[in-house]
Amino acid sequence: MENNNKNNFQNSQKNKENRIKEIIKEILGNKDSILETSSFSETVYSLNKFETLVKDFEKYDRRKYESEETKKRFIDKRNPEKNRITAYLLELMKNKITFFENELNIASTIQNKLMPQNIPNIEGYDIHALYSPSREVGGDYYDFYIANDGNIYFLISDVSGKGLPSSLTVASMKAYITAQIEENKPIIKIIKNLNNFLNETLISDKFVTMFIGKLDPIGSSISYINAGHNPPIILKNGNEMVELTEGGTILGMFKDLSFDTGSIQFSEDDILALYTDGITEAFNSSKEMFSKDRLKHFIKTEYNKSLKDIAESIFNEVKLFCGENTPQDDITLLFIRKKNLNEHK
């Protein structure tokens, strides 16, 4: 019986020692991948994982139960490398997190300055926009341009990736599109030229989705091109929903692409809703997406409210849907409504 207890104890200690060796091996083996993380969330995840490993080590390390005298006797002989690596990695990763936080602050500043500071006041139309950046600042962007002929150009886009690179891409796009509109280029030419520009300037695996429209306020017509973006929705008569899908594929991946131009008539009380995937692809704790169907439902049920109230209602509903799951992407909404002139007399 005594021998069995002794063997069990020895096996238990051996298992603990093997587990310690496994943990140290995992720490050393993950060192490079931990330090090569390329985003804020990956770095935070790696840091949390690393600190868990360290705690796991301490859990299996029986030395913490030894007397102070015993610890002092063997302090120079026991795992000095583990202690050094632990301190070294934790310091490097905390510095890296600080670096990412500084970069994200810069990206956020740039992104906010690029967004329109004022919504254009167009007779006969209501316009409202809502933009909420995620923690890491994605590549959402919307804008308005009033052309010399009185037509209104409007767009919404999403640059792949996050942080400073996406913000800089948005800045270059804004400058390029502004120049194209000032030269009175039609939207088909703007999109084709922008695609080739992005193809030459973007990193190989990056791309942009975009919806660009031109509103003729007098004729109440919209011509548009959807370049791989979430299809905007027009709610007509408070009931019928039409998705604007004409256009082509994403921008920047391939050169000299062809695009189609769509058009639609804008009637009184019609609402045009443009959005990014930060809404439809927001997840809750059950890994369920908010979805386009939910978005359509809330646009329809909130139809009689002001555009500002509709946007805020949808935004709050997304947050409620996500619960403790903080949205991981920017949220952008852009609404245009043609006023009912009889109601405003």
Map residue 45 onto helix, strand or coil.
helix
pLDDT value for 27: 47
d(CA 158, CA 198): 13
Residue 219 has pLDDT above 70, yes or no: yes
Is the pLDDT at 5 greater than 70? The verdict is: no
Please write the tens of the pLDDT for every residue from 282-334.
989 888 999 999 999 999 999 999 999 999 999 999 999 988 877 778 899 99
Average pLDDT over residues 69-95: 59
Q: What is the mean pLDDT of residues 206-226?
A: 95
Count the neighbouring beta carbons within 10 Å of the beta carbon of residue 317: 18
Highest mean pLDDT out of 99-103, 201-205, 239-243: 239-243
Of 159 and 156, which is predicted with more confidence?
156
Residue 216, SS3 per DSSP: strand
**Nearest-5° Cα angle at 211, 132 to 279:** 35
Residue 95 confidence (pLDDT) above 70:
no
CA dist list (Å): 89 to 15, 135, 164, 179: 27, 24, 25, 48
Structure confidence at residue 325 (pLDDT): 77
Residue that is written with structure tokens 């238990």 in the block? 12
Of the pLDDT bands very low, low, confident and very high (cuts 50, 70, 90), residue 73 is low
pLDDT band at 68 (very low <50, low <70, confident <90, very high): low
106 or 170, which is more confident?
A: 170
Q: Which two tokens stand for residue 256?
A: 């000299």
- Model pLDDT, residue 83: 59
Task: Give me the percent of the chain exceeding a pLDDT of 70.
Answer: 65
What is the C-alpha to C-alpha distance for residues 114 and 232, in angstroms, rounded to an integer?
Answer: 22
Please report the pLDDT score of residue 343 as a whole number: 60
3-state helix, strand, coil in the chain (%, to 5): 50, 20, 30
Q: What are the C-alpha distances in Å from 243 to residues 23, 118, 236, 268?
A: 54, 27, 11, 18
Per-domain boundaries in the chain = 2-107, 115-344
Please check the confidence at residue 112 and state whether its pLDDT lies above 80: no
The confidence band for 199, taking pLDDT boundaries of 50, 70 and 90, is very high
Amino acid identity, residue 197?
A: F
- What is the CATH architecture assignment of 115-344? 4-Layer Sandwich (3.60)
Name the DSSP letter for residue 219.
T
Whether the CB-CB separation of 297 and 257 falls below 8 Å is answered with: no
Lowest mean pLDDT among 132-146, 149-163, 247-261, 324-338: 132-146
- 345 or 153, which is more confident: 153
Per DSSP, the residues of 261-291 read: -EEEE--TT-EEEEE-HHHHT-B-TTS-B--
- What integer pLDDT is reported at residue 275 of this predicted model? 97
Report the pLDDT value the prediction gives residue 28, as an integer from 0 to 100: 47
Give the mean model confidence (pLDDT) for residues 247-261: 96
Geometric angle at alpha carbon 181, from 177 and 187, rounded to 5°: 85
